[in-house]
């Protein structure tokens, strides 16, 4: 028997969204802000009115949005030069700056924790959290991750559409990428990254990564993970979507991860032949059946795509999706969990792991990418003449030890 038309459930959806925050885990508004102005900071106050793209304050209000994750994203290096991150940090920090400035606008409120999201929602503000979409923006350094965490970054996507020194990517869905790391998953340095994210309370995002990277991260992470904007591959056969064997690793049973898959609206990941709101709901229902309703959420990818699916064209349309779920028989409690409750639960669990590791005295990872050529720093002059005698003596002994271990080319005095 077909579901009743969702128009009959719109008022119920609006009432539910007035009581519980809808949180979109992936919005690319900063991309538009940087792309339409030579002075992107000047666009910050303009978001309060009609703004190009899919997202602005009037439409967020019409869509009853309680919170969203602004994505900090810049393109990854193309082709086989994926380890080259030259110049990326400046641009990434500029994008992060845009988000932090937006947070200070009157309609928005910075929110790193679930309590801060709920407080902003209660105050009638839109909670803004930060995700960094791609570990290529770490500059091949865990120190940058630690700086991001201090600046409020809440999740890190391990790759974008190309590999990086930490992890293997699923690519863009076109020609498959050549494997980057053993097994086409995490590198040893990427395993360190997973542990450091857990220690810092940064959520690990597995959208965009290869299937093996998904499995590796799920095996290693002590905290729940997220897929910030992905769908079910069984419903739409795209490499960016999550395969069933990985979905089966999500859950509350032994060996499972209590994470969440946030369903995305990008047509190619929904159904390239029938990209509609109803098909997004089909993905949500498939995921709910496969791994449980506590493991599903909502992500749009607005402003990160040309067009949304029919019925979800911009951020004013979220009530239609909630009404569709209610029309299909979802309870208010289950719909509220998908709207944002499940993601807030994951945030709390990640924070609990962070607190536990801090209480146990966990220290920052000292791991350094093996490809670095700038360490140890050659800052003492040609013959270390700028250093004191005890530093020179220490370096002589240390360099001999490094050379004996094959870590130093004594002819060039550089790490290898």
pLDDT, tens digit, 9 for 90 and up, residues 143-181: 999 999 999 999 999 999 999 999 999 998 766 788 989
Which of the pair, 172 or 43, is modelled with greater confidence? 43
Q: What is the pTM of this model?
A: 0.95
Write down the catalytic residue from 229, 238, 283, 295: 229
The CA–CA distances, whole Å, from 196 to 125, 130, 142, 364 equal: 32, 18, 8, 7
Round to whole Å and give the CA distance between 404 and 205. 40
Of 20, 24, 28, 192, which residue is the catalytic one? 28
Q: Looking at residue 201, what is its pLDDT?
A: 98
**Contact status, residue 179 vs residue 167, Cβ threshold 8 Å:** no
The stretch 285-303 carries a mean pLDDT of 98
DSSP assignments along 198-265, one per residue: HHHTPEEE-TTB-HHHHHHHHHH-SS--EETT--BTTTS--TTSBPHHHHTTBSSSTT-B--EEEE--
Q: Provide, rounded to the nearest whole percent, the portion of the chain with pLDDT above 90.
A: 86
Q: Is the pLDDT of residue 202 over 90?
A: yes
pLDDT of 408 higher than 90: no
Instruction: Extract the tokens encoding 102.
Output: 């937006």
Average pLDDT value for the chain: 95
Q: How much is the pLDDT for 411? A: 54
Who's near 71: CB < 8 A, 6+ residues apart?
Answer: 26, 27, 28, 30, 31, 131, 132, 133, 304
pLDDT at residue 22 is higher than 90:
yes
What's the pLDDT at 399? 87
Asked about 160 being catalytic, the answer comes back as: yes
What pLDDT is attached to residue 1? Answer: 52
pLDDT the model gives residue 416: 36
Q: Is residue 28 annotated as part of the catalytic site, yes or no? A: yes
> How confident is residue 415, by pLDDT bands cut at 50, 70 and 90?
very low
Looking at the DSSP assignment, which residues form a beta bridge with residue 107? none
Q: What is the 8-class DSSP label of residue 2? A: P
Mean pLDDT in residue range 250-273? 98
Distance CA 169, CA 158 (A): 8
| Percent over 70 (pLDDT), the chain | 97
Residue tagged active-site, from 20, 26, 181, 283: 26
The predicted-structure confidence for 96-114, as pLDDT tens digits, reads as follows 999 999 999 999 999 999 9
Query: Is 9 or 399 the better-scoring residue by pLDDT?
Result: 9
Confidence at residue 64, expressed as pLDDT on a 0 to 100 scale: 98
Round to whole Å and give the CA distance between 55 and 33.
11
Q: Which one is catalytic: 20, 54, 136, 160?
A: 160
pLDDT at 209: 98
* 229 classed as catalytic: yes
133 labelled catalytic: yes
pLDDT at 175: 66
State the catalytic residue, choosing from 20, 24, 54, 133: 133
Q: Which of 25-29, 170-174, 201-205, 238-242 has the lowest mean pLDDT?
A: 170-174
181 is catalytic: no
Question: pLDDT tier at 374 (50, 70, 90 boundaries)?
Answer: confident
Query: Which of these is catalytic: 192, 285, 301, 334?
Result: 301
Strands (DSSP E) found in 17-168: 22-27, 65-72, 108-110, 126-133, 153-157
For residue 203, the cross-strand partners are: 155
What pLDDT, on the 0 to 100 scale, is given for residue 409? Answer: 61
* Residue located via tokens 């979409």: 133
Choose the catalytic residue: 54, 136, 208, 295.
208
């Amino acid at each position: 028997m077909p579901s009743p038309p969702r128009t009959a459930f719109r008022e119920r959806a609006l009432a539910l969204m007035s009581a519980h925050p809808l949180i979109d885990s992936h919005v690319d508004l900063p991309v538009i802000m940087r792309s339409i102005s030579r002075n992107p900071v000047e666009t910050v106050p303009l978001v309060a009115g009609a703004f190009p793209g899919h997202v602005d304050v009037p439409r967020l209000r019409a869509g009853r949005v309680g919170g969203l994750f602004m994505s900090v994203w810049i393109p990854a290096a193309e082709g086989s030069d994926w380890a080259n991150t030259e110049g990326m940090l400046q641009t990434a920090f500029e994008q992060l700056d845009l988000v932090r400035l937006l947070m200070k606008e009157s309609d928005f409120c910075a929110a790193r924790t679930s309590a801060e999201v709920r407080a902003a929602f209660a105050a009638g503000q839109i909670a803004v959290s930060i995700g960094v979409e791609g570990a290529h923006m770490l500059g091949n350094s865990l120190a940058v991750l630690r700086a991001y965490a201090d600046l409020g970054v809440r999740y890190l996507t391990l790759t974008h559409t190309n590999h990086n020194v930490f992890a293997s990517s699923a690519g863009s869905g076109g020609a498959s990428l050549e494997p980057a790391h053993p097994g086409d998953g995490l590198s040893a340095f990427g395993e360190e990254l997973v542990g450091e994210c857990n220690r810092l309370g940064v959520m690990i995002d597995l959208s965009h990564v290869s299937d093996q990277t998904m499995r590796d991260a799920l095996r290693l992470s002590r905290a729940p993970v997220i897929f910030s904007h992905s769908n079910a591959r069984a419903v739409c056969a795209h490499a960016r979507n999550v395969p069933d064997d990985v979905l089966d690793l999500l859950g509350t049973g032994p060996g499972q991860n209590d994470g969440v898959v946030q369903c995305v609206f990008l047509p190619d990941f929904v159904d390239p032949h029938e990209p509609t709101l109803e098909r997004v709901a089909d993905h949500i229902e498939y995921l709910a059946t496969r791994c449980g309703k506590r493991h599903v959420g909502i992500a749009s990818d607005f402003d990160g795509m040309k067009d949304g699916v029919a019925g979800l064209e911009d951020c004013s349309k979220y009530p239609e999706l909630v009404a569709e779920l209610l029309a299909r028989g979802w309870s208010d409690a289950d719909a509220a969990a998908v709207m944002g409750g499940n993601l807030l639960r994951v945030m709390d669990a990640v924070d609990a792991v962070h607190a536990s590791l801090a209480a146990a005295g966990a220290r920052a990872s000292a791991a350094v990418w093996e490809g670095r050529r700038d360490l140890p720093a050659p800052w003492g002059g040609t013959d270390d003449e700028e250093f004191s005698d005890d530093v020179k003596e220490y370096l002589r002994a240390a360099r001999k030890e490094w050379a004996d271990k094959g870590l130093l080319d004594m002819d060039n005095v550089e790490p290898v």
